[in-house]
Each structure stands twice: as C-alpha cells, then as structure tokens.
C-alpha cells in the first residue's frame, strides 16, 4: 500500500484528507511542520501533500528541503493551500511541486492526480533502474538566458538512460547539454535533455537529465541496468 504524508497545520484539513485517502493509502499526517522532514526520512512516503502557509516552517521551505535531500528528492509533492494559483503556482513548480490545489478542495480531482503521479513514478522506476555511482561530469550548453555555459559537477544518481546532478547554471526544461565524463581524462558521453528541475531559488539547482544521444563511454549501459533490476 502506498504511503502518503500530509503536512498541514489545520487539523480539520488533516482529518479530512486522512478520511478521504485512508481507504486506499497508508496515511501519515502531522500538523507540526517541524516534524515533516523527520517523518519523510523515517517513512519515505510515496507522495507528500503539503500546505504552504504554516508557522515556523512554510511549505516553500519544506518543499526546498525535500528536494535538496537525495533520500526525499524524488517524492512527488502536491501543494494544497488557500492561496490562489496565480499567486504561487509557478513558484511552487520551480521548487519542484508537481501539482497545486486550492482550498476548498475538489477531492475527486486530488485523488485522480495522486493516482496519476504514483503510476508515473512506478513506471519511471521500472523503466530506469538507478544506481548510486559517483561520476565527475563536464556539462556544456546554453542556459535559460541564452548564454553559453560550461561547468564541472558530479552525480551519484545514474541510470542507463540518464542522471541527476546539481548545476549552478539556470536551465530550462527540454534544454540539451553535452555531457563529458571527466573522472579519468575526458570522454564524450553524449547529449542529454533536461527532464526534471528541482531546488530552484538556491545557489545551485538539481536537474534530471535523459540522454538523447549516448556513447559507449557512459559507464551504465542497458544490459547492465537490466541485470540489476
């Protein structure tokens, strides 16, 4: 059974969401945002429902914290708030949230979106087996402002089809970068497309890349990935 973490300082909302979701999910809920990160690390939920305006830690801060930790960075975050979409939806998307729901909630829409995100996550996990492998990379391409960039970074999250890493440059989704392995000399690994963007608003950003062209220099090939699945 999938686990859902609910973080909302409104107890009535927590209770409503628990009642709505408890039949199909294992629900962990807290009204204290200070407990949220610890609960996420302890239970590693399959999705997080997150309020924005809370005391001590806002949903914005928590979203950024979840995305900055490798252990929680891939958990889908669905924002549930009384704030209008026009005010914060884009900012939440830049922080890594996958959906934005205004209160009062349309519970059927929430359940449908939650199901879709969990199915998508499961499909991605089956398709791309990820391995913890530290690689030094040199990335070259064009940043969000249209300027050429080149920087060295590292990844510890790789698959046969892509990788995740931090990047100081601001990149847009679907941007193409050249990937050069620089651990022992330099070897051209191919071209990769930005498919995921996380942790915006910090000095670095975390991106997910998927190869559109790959050479044999990339250390994790499909036949290896299949053997690990």
Both tokens assigned to 142:
């064009």
pTM listed for this prediction? 0.60
What is the chain's length? 229
Domain with CATH 2.40.10.220 in the chain: 135-228
Class of the CATH-defined domain 135-228? mainly beta
pLDDT tier at 160 (50, 70, 90 boundaries)? confident
More confident position, 133 or 142: 142
- CATH 3.40.50.2300 assigned to 3-127: yes
Q: Give the tens place of pLDDT for each residue, 161-171.
A: 899 898 889 89
**How far from chain centre, in Å, is Cα 95?**
9
**Pairing mode, if any, of strands 77-81 and 99-102?**
parallel
Domain with CATH 3.40.50.2300 in the chain: 3-127
What would the DSSP string read from start to end of 73-126?
TTS-EEEEESS-HHHHHHHHHHHT-SEEEESSP-HHHHHHHHHHHHHHHHHHHH
Both tokens assigned to 169:
């440059």
pLDDT tier at 122 (50, 70, 90 boundaries)? low
């Amino acid at each position: 059974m999938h686990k859902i973490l609910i973080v909302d300082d409104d107890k009535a909302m927590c209770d409503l969401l628990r009642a709505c979701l408890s039949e199909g999910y294992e629900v962990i809920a807290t009204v204290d945002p200070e407990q949220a990160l610890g609960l996420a690390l302890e239970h590693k939920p399959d999705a997080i429902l997150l309020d924005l305006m809370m005391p001590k830690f806002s949903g914005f801060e928590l979203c950024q914290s979840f995305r900055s930790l490798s252990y929680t960075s891939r958990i889908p975050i669905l924002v549930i708030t009384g704030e209008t979409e026009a005010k914060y939806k884009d900012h939440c998307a830049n922080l890594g949230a996958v959906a934005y729901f205004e209160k009062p909630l349309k519970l059927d829409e929430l359940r449908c979106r939650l199901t879709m995100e969990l199915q998508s996550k499961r499909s991605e996990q089956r398709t791309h087996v990820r391995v913890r492998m530290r690689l030094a990379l040199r990335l070259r391409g064009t940043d969000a402002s249209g300027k050429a960039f080149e920087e060295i970074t590292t990844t510890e999250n790789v698959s046969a089809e892509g990788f995740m890493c931090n990047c100081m440059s601001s990149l847009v989704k679907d941007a193409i970068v050249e990937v050069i392995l620089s651990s022992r000399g330099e070897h051209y690994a191919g071209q990769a497309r930005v498919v995921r963007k996380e942790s915006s608003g910090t000095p670095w950003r975390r991106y997910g890349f998927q190869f559109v062209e790959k050479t044999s220099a990339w250390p994790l090939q499909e036949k290896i990935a299949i053997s690990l699945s």
